[in-house]
Every structure is written in C-alpha cells, then in structure tokens.
Amino acid sequence: MRYGTPLEWSELLGVGPDDLPAATGRLVQGVEVLDDTVVQLRTILHDSPDRGLDEALMQLERRAREVVELVRDLHHQAIQELA
C-alpha cells in the first residue's frame, strides 16, 4: 500500500518533516477518540427498533476501525523513515 512520502504528509499536516512523527501521533489519538465515540454511540443505540440505523452504525464502526489501523500504520512508517 502506498502511504505517501513524508514530504507529502508533512505538507498536508502543515509541519516540517522532523515534526511528522509527533503530528501523526496526534492524528492517531484523534482517530482513536473518534473510534471510541462511534463504539459508544453504537452501544447506546444497539437495541434501537430501527435496524437500518443499527446496520449503518455497524458499518461506521468497522470503517472507523479501518481508519485507526491505517493511521497507526502511517504513524509507524513516519517513525521508521524519520528516526
């Protein structure tokens, strides 16, 4: 999978290449909070009589977890390439 170059990510996140590991670390924290929030919301609404809502939240939960894994991978790549 192509993650992009450190320079591309530095430009996107508005930091210098040396600050990229810290910036991607903050990004990991942000997507983890988002994932936790989605899980909490799905837990609250799991017994909803609206099956469509429950299914949509399950899909959102799966996708949020995928995002967490992808951003974690990006963070590890940034650490390896810039260490």
Confidence of residue 48 (pLDDT cuts 50, 70, 90): confident
Residues contacting residue 81 through CB under 8 Å, at least 6 positions apart = 6
Of 19, 9, 25, 34, the closest CA to residue 72 belongs to 25
Confidence of residue 7 (pLDDT cuts 50, 70, 90): confident
Q: Does the structure show a pLDDT above 90 at 26?
A: yes
Of 20, 33, 37, 2, the closest CA to residue 82 belongs to 20
pLDDT of residue 2: 65
Average pLDDT, the chain: 92
At 51-67, the pLDDT tens digits run 999 899 999 999 999 99
CA dihedral 6, 7, 13, 17 (to 10 degrees): 70
pLDDT of residue 4: 84
- Is-contact 35 42, C-beta < 8 A? no
What is the rounded average pLDDT of the residues 18-25?
95
